[in-house]
């Protein structure tokens, strides 16, 4: 269901994911620019330039399999992309386009996986932390998605709280583009923090760095 801007009454209109009808102009809004369904193009060029695609005025090339919820760049629907491990074997981050179909589709952290810098033992207060949380569809069986985090409070409740707010946006029907990037100091095997950014098709926005205290 697509909602009209400046109106409380939802209507069903033939437009693409993340777009809202602007009643005053008759155009459709993707947060960063306006789209004209009559011409099948945006009115202004992509703010990302050619980084957003070869045609700076077009929507995605195949709307059945791709979306552009923010009017910036096309991406595969329901996509999760894990970065490859770096030369020290450390996870480098994850980028994802999420919808409500991802909720609770992830897996718990595999106890057989030892993220870089992880030490087992009672009282260690260390967690196999998901870069993309389980409740958002993140894998606990992929070494590229697990880092060593302080269990409390970094992993829970701080990081899980951010994930919970993203989940709420998904439950409300938003498509959310997000990234979760570990920050390392030199050759340290444990990240000093995780920078999470999430932007939804309906106005949701989150940008935070979850700190991972030294010495864990």
Q: Which of 36, 71, 106 is the last residue of a domain?
A: 71
Say yes or no: 61 and 102 in one domain.
no
Tens of pLDDT, residue by residue over 133-157, are 999 999 999 999 999 999 999 999 9
The total number of structural domains in the chain stands at 2
Q: Which of 71, 99, 125 is the last residue of a domain?
A: 71
Say yes or no: 131 and 197 in one domain.
yes
Cis peptide before 128 (omega within 30 of 0): no
Residue 216 resides in a domain: no
Q: Is the model's pLDDT at 200 over the cut of 70?
A: yes
Say yes or no: 113 and 59 in one domain.
no
Say yes or no: 97 and 204 in one domain.
yes
* Residue keyed to tokens 């701080």: 158
Residue 129 resides in a domain: yes
Say yes or no: 96 and 191 in one domain.
yes
Residue 32 resides in a domain: yes
Can you give the pLDDT at residue 1?
40
**CA-CA distance, 209 to 216, in Å (whole number)?**
17
Question: Where in the sequence is the domain holding 143, given as residue range(s)?
Answer: 80-211
From residue 171, alpha-carbon distances to 100, 113, 175, 200, 202 in Å are 6, 31, 10, 12, 12
Percent of the chain topping pLDDT 70? 81
- Name the band, by pLDDT with cuts 50, 70 and 90, for residue 65: low
Can you give the pLDDT at residue 210?
98
Pair 162, 208: CB distance under 8 Å: yes
Q: Which of 71, 106, 128 is the last residue of a domain?
A: 71
From residue 33, alpha-carbon distances to 7, 49, 77, 126, 146 in Å are 19, 13, 20, 44, 36
Say yes or no: 7 and 27 in one domain.
yes
- Please state the pTM of the whole predicted model: 0.68
């Amino acid at each position: 269901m697509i909602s009209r801007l400046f109106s409380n009454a939802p209507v069903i209109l033939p437009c693409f994911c993340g777009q809202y009808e602007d009643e005053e102009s008759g155009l459709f809004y993707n947060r960063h620019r306006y789209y004209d369904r009559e011409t099948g193009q945006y009115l202004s060029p992509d703010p990302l330039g050619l980084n957003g695609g070869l045609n700076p005025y077009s929507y995605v090339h195949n709307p059945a399999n791709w979306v552009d919820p923010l009017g910036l760049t096309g991406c595969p629907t329901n996509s999760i992309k894990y970065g490859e491990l770096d030369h020290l074997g450390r996870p480098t981050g994850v980028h994802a386009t999420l919808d409500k179909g991802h909720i609770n589709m992830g897996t718990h952290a595999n106890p057989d996986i030892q993220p870089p810098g992880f030490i087992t033992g009672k009282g260690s207060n260390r967690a196999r932390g998901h870069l993309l949380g389980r409740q958002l569809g993140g894998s606990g069986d992929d070494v590229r998605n697990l880092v060593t985090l302080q269990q409390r409070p970094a992993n829970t409740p701080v990081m899980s709280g951010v994930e919970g707010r993203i989940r709420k946006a998904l439950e409300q029907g938003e498509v959310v583009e997000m990234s979760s990037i570990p920050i390392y100091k030199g050759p340290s095997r444990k990240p000093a923090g995780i920078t999470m950014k999430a932007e939804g098709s309906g106005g949701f926005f989150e940008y935070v760095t979850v700190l991972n205290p030294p010495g864990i």
